[in-house]
Amino acid sequence: MNDDIISYSSEKKGIVTSKNTSDDLFSEIVSLRPTSFKEYIGQNDTVETLKIAIQAAKMRNESLEHILLHGPPGLGKTTISHIIADEMEKNLIVTSGPALEKGGDLIGILTNLGDGDIFFIDEIHRIPKIVEEFLYPAMEDFVIDFIFDKGIHARSHRYRLKQFVLVGATTRVGLLSSPLRDRFGIFRTLDFYSIEQLVIIIKRSADILNTIISENGASELAKRSRGTPRIANRLLKRVRDYSQVKSHGNVTRQSVQASLELEGIDSLGLTSLDRHYLKTIIDFYMGGPVGIEAIAATLQEETDTLVDVVEPFLLKMGMVLRTSSGRKASQKAYQHLKLKT
């Protein structure tokens, strides 16, 4: 009898076997992430540093040093961690700081890591302090100390870990404690992308999505993407939907403008929240300076949302100034909103 287990479905006419078929290997989710440094666009200095470190580690048959990536959301920190794991031909284990609530959560992951495995922690600055202290000996000496029992019966046991590589990603590096930050061997900051780089990313993503986009359409979309690949890819999908319904599937400058106008995104990529943030400083606080807590209370938004999502791009664009006494709207903000100073 054939070893394959074959059964027939009454709802779907086909054969189910125990072996993988071409349909099983096909991903239902189309990923726009690059899978190698050759496909990765931008962050040239960071990529070159990592390529050298990876090549040197392979030549010595060693693991990489621990890596800390810092920068605003959506610039490719998670993507880089996937590429590092692929380049090193090692497993990637992904978690986030808020998910590690107890020491046992972290210990369970660390004790199951293999030699050279890549352990990626997103938003590493949000790890609880009591959990973070388990990382110190794990990163430096690749050991964990367990305490059994309590009082006079307490005893310690040291468990030796495999030599793993910790890749940490954070949007707020200043919140990392010095003992943790100093244990990373490679520390790189990711910056916003230029319009030219975003055009290349948008064209690549359009090809993957089987979408036709004009040069002017890609350029217009890049200008409104806040220098961030994640936002560019998200907006591309919205523009694709609009163009498919309104302009026969072809993404042009006109369809980009019309689509993003519906999304509330203006010519510089500012969202309605960005504009409300600026108008709050100008209208309620006479242009500033004003504290971030006061702005958050007026907008009824979380302070972290404004600091991590709204402010980085506005600061880069020169529309907001951070002073010792608070935030202040710049002349450029007045001009963009067409308001008088």
CATH of the domain at 227: 1.10.8.60
Residue at which a domain ends, from 262, 286, 311: 262
11: in domain: no
The domain that holds 299 is classified in CATH as: 1.10.10.10
At residue 122, the pLDDT reads 93
| Whether 200 and 233 share a structural domain | yes
The domain that holds 143 is classified in CATH as: 3.40.50.300
- Report whether 162 contacts 113 (CB < 8 A): yes
| Whether 137 and 64 share a structural domain | yes
Query: What distance in Å separates the CA atoms of residue 244 and residue 259, rounded to the nearest whole number?
Result: 11
Query: What distance in Å separates the CA atoms of residue 76 and residue 54, rounded to the nearest whole number?
Result: 18
Angle at which helices 229-246 and 215-223 cross, to 10°: 130
Full-model pTM:
0.80
At residue 30, the pLDDT reads 60
Query: In angstroms, how far is CA 294 from the centroid of its own chain?
Result: 28
161: in domain: yes
153: in domain: yes
Name, in order, each residue with C-beta under 8 angstroms of 294's C-beta and a sequence gap of 6 or more. 285, 326
21: in domain: no
At residue 153, the pLDDT reads 73
| Whether 234 and 127 share a structural domain | no
At residue 190, the pLDDT reads 93
| Whether 238 and 327 share a structural domain | no
| Whether 128 and 183 share a structural domain | yes
Residue at which a domain ends, from 189, 216, 246: 189
At residue 186, the pLDDT reads 93
| Whether 93 and 180 share a structural domain | yes
| Whether 134 and 240 share a structural domain | no
| Whether 51 and 126 share a structural domain | yes
Tokens representing residue 133 in the block: 């202290």
Domain tally for the chain? 3
Residue at which a domain ends, from 149, 172, 189: 189
Question: Which of 249, 244, 202, 192 is CA-nearest to residue 222?
Answer: 202
| Whether 169 and 209 share a structural domain | no
| Whether 171 and 292 share a structural domain | no
> What phi and psi, each to the nearest 5 degrees, are found at residue 91?
-75, 150
Query: What distance in Å separates the CA atoms of residue 129 and residue 21, rounded to the nearest whole number?
Result: 47
At residue 305, the pLDDT reads 87
- Report whether 253 contacts 308 (CB < 8 A): no
322: in domain: yes
The helix/strand/coil state of 187 is: strand
Tokens representing residue 304 in the block: 């972290």
Low-confidence ranges of the chain (pLDDT < 50): 1-15, 18, 21-28
14: in domain: no
**Which residues span the domain enclosing 173?**
44-189
Active site residues: 77-78, 122, 171, 230
* 37-72 pLDDT, tens digit each: 998 998 999 999 999 999 999 999 988 999 999 998
| Whether 185 and 49 share a structural domain | yes
| Whether 183 and 49 share a structural domain | yes
Beta bridge partners of 119: 93, 166
Helix or strand (DSSP H, E) at 166: strand 165-170
2: in domain: no
Beta bridge partners of 93: 119
